[in-house]
Structure 1
Amino acid sequence: MPDPRVCLEALSALSGCRVESTPGRSQIQPQDLVNIVALREFYKQEGLQELDYPSIGTMSLQDPDPDEPDLYGPAPSLTAGPDPGPGPGPALADRKPVKLNPEDFFHPQYDYDFTRIQDGDRRFLRGNEQYVRPCGWDRAALRVTQRYADGDGWLGTGRDAWPVSYQGHGMDGSIILVRGGEPEDEPGYLEAAAARLTERRTQGRGVYSTPDVRLAEKFCKTFRSQVDGKKYKVLLQNRINPETRSQCQREDVWVVYIQEGLNDVQTRALVEDAIRPYGLLLKEA
Structure 2
Amino acid sequence: MPNPDLCLEALSALTGCKVESTTRVSQLGPQDIVNVVALREFYKQEGLKELDYPSIGTLSLENVETMDMYSSPPALPEPEESYTTSVKINIQDFFDPQYDYDFTNIKDGGMTFMRGNEQYFRPCGWNRAALHVTKKYDGGDRWLGTGNDAWPVSYQGYNMDGAQGIILARDKNPDDEPSFLEAGAASLVTEKTRGKGVYSTPSIQTAEKYCKTFKSKVDGKRYKVLLQNRINPEKRNKCQREDVWVVYIPEGSTDIQKRAIVQESIRPYGLLLKQV
| Residue 232 (structure 2) pairs with residue 241 (structure 1) | yes
Query: Hey, what does 1:166 align to over in structure 2?
Result: 155
Structure showing greater radius of gyration is 1
* Counterpart code for 2:78: L
Alignment of 1:30-69 (within 5 A): 30-64=30-64
Aligned CA distance change for structure 1 residues 65 and 169 (closer, same or farther; 3 Å): closer
Q: Is the 8 A contact 1:110 1:141 kept in 2?
A: yes
Query: Hey, what does 1:190 align to over in structure 2?
Result: 180
What RMSD in Å do the two structures reach over aligned CA positions?
A: 2.3
Aligned CA distance change for structure 1 residues 104 and 195 (closer, same or farther; 3 Å): same
SS in 2 for 1:59: strand
Q: How far off its partner does 1:199 sit?
A: 7.5
Q: How far off its partner does 1:269 sit?
A: 0.5
Tell me the distance in 2 between the aligned counterparts of 1:113 and 1:39. Answer: 29
Q: Is the 8 A contact 1:177 1:194 kept in 2?
A: no
Q: How far off its partner does 1:116 sit?
A: 0.1
Alignment of 1:118-267 (within 5 A): 118-172=107-161, 173-180=164-171, 190-192=180-182, 194-196=184-186, 201=191, 203-267=194-258
**Deviation digits for residues 51-76 of structure 1 (CA, Å, limit 9, x no counterpart):** 0000011011125359999613xxxx
Q: Percent identity?
A: 64
Larger mean CA deviation between 63-72 and 35-44 belongs to 63-72
Aligned CA distance change for structure 1 residues 2 and 68 (closer, same or farther; 3 Å): closer
Query: Hey, what does 1:18 align to over in structure 2?
Result: 18
* Counterpart code for 1:127: G
**Deviation digits for residues 185-244 of structure 1 (CA, Å, limit 9, x no counterpart):** 89xx63456412587745431100000010000010010000100000000000000001
Tell me the distance in 2 between the aligned counterparts of 1:107 and 1:160. Answer: 23
TM-score, normalising length from structure 1?
A: 0.86
* Counterpart code for 2:267: R
SS in 1 for 2:180: helix
SS in 2 for 1:195: coil
Tell me the distance in 1 between the aligned counterparts of 2:196 and 2:85. Answer: 31
Q: Is the 8 A contact 1:204 1:255 kept in 2?
A: no
Match of 2:265 among 263, 269, 274: 274
Q: Is the 8 A contact 1:162 1:241 kept in 2?
A: yes
Tell me the distance in 1 between the aligned counterparts of 2:154 and 2:172. Answer: 22
Tell me the distance in 2 between the aligned counterparts of 1:241 and 1:260. Answer: 20
Q: Is the 8 A contact 1:142 1:279 kept in 2?
A: yes
* Counterpart code for 2:137: Y
TM-score, normalising length from structure 2?
A: 0.89
Query: Hey, what does 2:71 align to over in structure 1?
Result: none
Structure 1 unaligned segments of length 5 or more: list them. 73-88
Aligned CA distance change for structure 1 residues 27 and 69 (closer, same or farther; 3 Å): closer
Aligned length: 263
SS in 2 for 1:9: helix
Q: Is the 8 A contact 1:17 1:98 kept in 2?
A: yes
Match of 2:90 among 93, 101, 109: 101
Q: Is the 8 A contact 2:18 2:86 kept in 1?
A: yes
